[in-house]
Structure 1
Amino acid sequence: MKHFLLFLLFAFCSSFGQSKSFSHLAYGKSSQQALDLYIPNGDLKEIPVVILLHGGAWSMGGLQYNSKHAQDICNKGFVVANVDYRYVTEEISAKDLLADIQAAVTYVSDVSGKYGYAKKGYHIVGISAGAHLALLYGYTKKNMKSITALCAPSRLDSVEVLEFLKKNVLLDVIEKLAGAKFNTTGTNPAFIAISPFRNISNTPTLLIHGDADPLVNVSQSQNLYAELKSKGVETKLLIREGKGHDVGMNSPDTEAQNIKDITDWIIMHNK
């Protein structure tokens, strides 16, 4: 009997404080317009709510890309919406992906009363293509308390960047993202419109980038950081030495440090 009671006590203590998750909640009609919601136990009224966006060059990937990171952030005591969004095509461009994020944010807000967390005042975090979208959404919608962008493509309107993307067989994807063909002889308003660097607003921004990133050069975050500072926007840049495009998110020690830096930034701005 004593051992049985100890077992029950252990089982209770193990379950206390664990989070709940709700998978593939539809916020739109497309199968990709879905999110996973992670909710910690306890009083949720004052805790941060995070919108998390996966990478995948705007043309691949899904919720599984960020599931571990979403759980890790939730384990810090945050509500996390791990959001999927549609891929770019000839018919679907950045404005549609931003509309997906807006619809997801609206859904998360609409169901807040059901679970007991805040109805507004969220934070947005993204990795790679998701970081680009987090920046662009956060700067243009101006409804997030903070932005965190890991290995973010932040400027897509320069000839140099587009030539680099062309070498990496990504120019076609970027043109779909912009909904236009890149013109190397003149201005490109469609590419300016999808460049966070050219659409900055006063939202606190944390940038994390590996200095050995072969896909998105660290200069993208360095230049954005300098521009944010020049405009008086609160910002912080963390360079991960020797890390590539995953910014160390696939290495346990570096991922733990990234999660700590992300959650510290969010807590600082959850006012």
Structure 2
Amino acid sequence: MKYFYLFFFCMLASISFQSCENETENTNSIPLEYYEELNISYGNDSNQTFDLYLPANRTPATKTLILVHGGGWSSGDKADMDAIKNLIQQDLPNLAVANTNYRLADANNPPYPMQIDDITSVINYLKNNKDTYTISDSFGFIGISAGGHLALLWSYAFDTNNNINMVCSIVGPTNLTDPAYLNNNSVELQAMLDLYGVTTDISFLEEVSPLHRVTASAPPTILFYGGQDPLIPATQGTNLRDKLIDLNVTNQFTLYPTGGHGWVGIELLDTWLNLKAFTQNQL
């Protein structure tokens, strides 16, 4: 995933953003100023924190993009998404951004339902404090790799109040019952999948797979995958795309034939331009 972060960083090297300003009282004559709050705690674990960035001139109708980092469910940090956060602030300046950490999985702490519960806690925190922050209870997701999987799964199976207006997965797993996974011979890939259980039955794998949880009420979805990805077979994207079409769910799908688990240059610029336009239309 370093290609994504490096490219976004390079795109933003010449851009500076104003530093954190104090929150001011919202009145009819004094617009709200830009505000950021870092490492907001939503639980007792040190990884249960998120950063919140609120645009100037926001209103109770302001929507929030929630960023979910990758790392195979067992590593990664919200700092990995900072460059994407900066792009959002530059090109989508009317949106709030919540950049999230979540508890990381290990041999004693499987990712499910732990990480889904963490996303639920973040969303509940934002909803419960929407008046304090002057934002709405409408959200979108951008997730990369494992973060894409979590964003899709939460949006499809756990958004009981229909708060999610759009979801983006960049190289996120969608189907843990894919034969390309069940019959793989990759040590690295299998170590990642084993976090969900070495002898897990098919019904559980379906439970944690966005492909098997998506319904006709799913939010608009935009997907990006690489044709040469050693960790995420192209079928993870194409099969979900096909099911979204069958369910008549608004969706957009891009496959970069020579892309791996990340891409650079014109293809990555294409990713951002398409994602920006989709967000503007759907969120």
Task: Note whether the superposition's TM-score is higher than 0.5.
Answer: yes
Deviation for aligned residue 1:205: 0.9
Q: Tell me, what secondary structure is at the counterpart of 1:104?
A: helix
Residues 31/246 of structure 1: CA separation in 2 closer, same or farther (3 Å cut): same
Cα shift at 1:158: 3.3
- Give the C-alpha shift of residue 38 in structure 1: 1.6
Q: Secondary structure at the match of 2:194?
A: helix
Q: Report the more deviating stretch, 128-137 or 16-25.
A: 16-25
Q: 1:62 and 2:62 equivalent? A: no
Contact 1:131 1:150 in 2 (8 A): yes
Say whether 1:258 aligns with 2:276.
no
Give the one of 110, 126, 151 matched to 2:143. 126
Q: Give per-residue Cα distances to partners, 1:15-51, cap 9 Å, x unaligned.
A: 5999543211111111111111122212343333111
Q: 1:116 to 1:104 in 2, by over 3 A?
A: same
Aligned length: 247
Correspondences of 1:85-124 after superposition (within 5 Å)? 85-89=102-106, 90-118=108-136, 120-124=137-141
What is residue 171 of structure 1 aligned with on the other side?
Answer: 190
Question: Structure 2 unaligned runs (5+)?
Answer: 1-16, 20-31
Under a length normalisation based on structure 1, what TM-score does the superposition of the two structures give? 0.82
Query: Max radius of gyration: which structure?
Result: 1
Deviations 1:58-90 (A, max 9, x none): 011101110111121122221110111111122
> Residue by residue, what CA displacement relative to the aligned partner does 1:131-163 show, whole Å, maximum 9, x if unpaired?
000111100013311111111111102343133
Whichever residue aligns with residue 139 of structure 2, its letter is Y
Change (3 A) 1:160 1:212: closer
Query: d(CA) in 1 for partners of 2:130 and 2:272?
Result: 24
Quote the offset at 1:208 in angstroms: 1.1
Q: Would you say 1:198 and 2:218 are equivalent positions?
A: no
How do 1:142-157 residues align onto structure 2 when only pairs under 5 Å count? Answer: 142=159, 143=162, 144-157=164-177
Aligned to 2:158: 141
TM-score w.r.t. length of structure 2: 0.79
Q: SS at the partner of 1:146?
A: strand
**AA of the residue aligned to 2:132:** K
Partner amino acid, structure 2, of 1:209: Y
**Per-residue Cα deviation, 1:83-135 (whole angstroms, up to 9, x for no partner):** 111111223331111000000111122232222111x1211110000000011
SS in 1 for 2:243: helix
Give the whole-Å Cα distance in 2 for the aligned partners of 1:29 and 1:198.
32
Deviation sequence 1:150-200 (CA, Å, 0-9, x none) = 111111023431332x514232432323xx3336xxx52111111111111
Letter in 2 for 1:114: T
CA contact (8 A) 1:27 1:34 kept: yes
Query: Judging changes above 3 Å, is the alpha-carbon distance between structure 1 residues 255 and 121 closer, same or farther for their aligned structure 2 residues?
Result: same
Match of 1:269 in 2: 282
Percent identical residues: 23
5+ residue gaps, structure 1, are 1-13
